[in-house]
């Protein structure tokens, strides 16, 4: 990427069941309201009023979610699609690929507004983000149960992204909700490009 770009943190966030499952038939296969509140708190947090985060969605992931998720404070939404020419309802932008979405956030006029780029799926968008040199943190909730899934979080290099024992603002205890145990985890990139 060109020197004129203002580097942004690229962060992935997902809840992942045993076997790597993240969805089934366009829905989450579990109902964990407190885990979802954690997700919302992470993606909407900014350092000060007037700042925003960019949430990056694959097209299928966007259309599989409820419109209430699109009306979040401090969030601008970009949907990735090679076929759409205009942003879908409630989205702010459409871009052809992940790199162009990152570039948009790192260049004027958004460079001064956007703090963090949050990647919320699906699988190919996660895969592209994992390869990006600005990807520094993975917020993965380990859902400690088996679920029938048809969408999966991609495998990633756990020598490059190391599981953190403790991480600020992330509970380290095992949680339980609706009879399902889960644990919040953060994987941090050990070597960052151009830091």
Q: For the chain, which residues make up each domain, given as ranges? A: 9-189
Q: Is the Cβ–Cβ distance between 12 and 123 less than 8 Å?
A: no
Structure tokens, 150? 């048809």
Whole-number average pLDDT of the chain: 94
Chain centroid to Cα 77, Å, comes to: 12
Q: How far is CA 111 from the centre of its chain?
A: 19
Tokens for 17, please give them.
């069941």
Domain 9-189 has CATH 3.40.430.10: yes
Radius of gyration for the alpha carbons in the chain, expressed in angstroms and rounded = 16
pLDDT in tens, 56-78: 999 999 999 877 778 899 999 99
Element (H, E) at 54: strand 52-58
Q: Where does residue 190 rank: exposed (0-12), middle (13-18), buried (19+ CB within 10 A)?
A: exposed
Which residue's structure tokens are 């939404």?
A: 77
Active site residues: 28, 35
Model confidence, pTM: 0.94
**Is the model's pLDDT at 1 over the cut of 70?**
no
Tens-place pLDDT, residues 99-110? 999 999 999 999
The model's confidence at residue 25, banded by pLDDT at 50, 70 and 90, is very high
* 18, 144 Cβ separation under 8 angstroms: yes
Average of per-residue pLDDT across 41-64: 96
Structure tokens at 151: 């969408």
144 preceded by a cis bond (ω within 30 of 0): no
* pLDDT at 114 (0 to 100): 98
Place of tokens 């409820």: 66
C-alpha span between 74 and 52 (Å, rounded): 5
Q: How far apart are the first and last CA of the chain?
A: 14
Site of tokens 């151009």: 194
Handedness of CA 156, 161, 164, 167 (dihedral sign): negative
Structure tokens at 186: 């953060």
From CA 156, how far away is CA 154, in angstroms rounded? 6
Pairing of strands 114-119, 52-58: parallel
Check residue 66 and give its pLDDT: 77
């Amino acid at each position: 990427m060109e020197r004129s770009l203002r580097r942004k943190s690229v962060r992935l966030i997902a809840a992942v069941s045993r076997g790597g499952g993240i969805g089934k038939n366009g829905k989450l296969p579990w109902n964990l309201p407190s885990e979802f509140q954690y997700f919302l708190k992470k993606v909407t947090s900014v350092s000060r009023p007037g700042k925003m985060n960019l949430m990056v969605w694959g097209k299928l992931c966007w259309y599989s979610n409820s419109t209430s998720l699109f009306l979040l404070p401090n969030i601008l939404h970009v949907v990735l699609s090679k076929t759409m020419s205009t942003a879908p309802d409630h989205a702010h932008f459409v871009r052809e690929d992940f790199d162009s979405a990152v570039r948009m956030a790192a260049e004027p006029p958004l460079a001064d507004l956007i703090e963090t780029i949050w990647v919320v799926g699906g699988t190919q968008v996660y895969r592209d983000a994992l390869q990006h040199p600005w990807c520094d943190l993975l917020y993965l909730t380990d859902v400690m149960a088996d679920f029938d899934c048809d969408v999966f979080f991609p495998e990633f290099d756990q020598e490059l992204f190391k599981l953190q024992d403790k991480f600020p603002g992330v509970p380290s205890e095992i949680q339980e909700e609706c009879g399902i145990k889960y644990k919040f985890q953060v994987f941090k990139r050990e070597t960052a490009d151009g830091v």
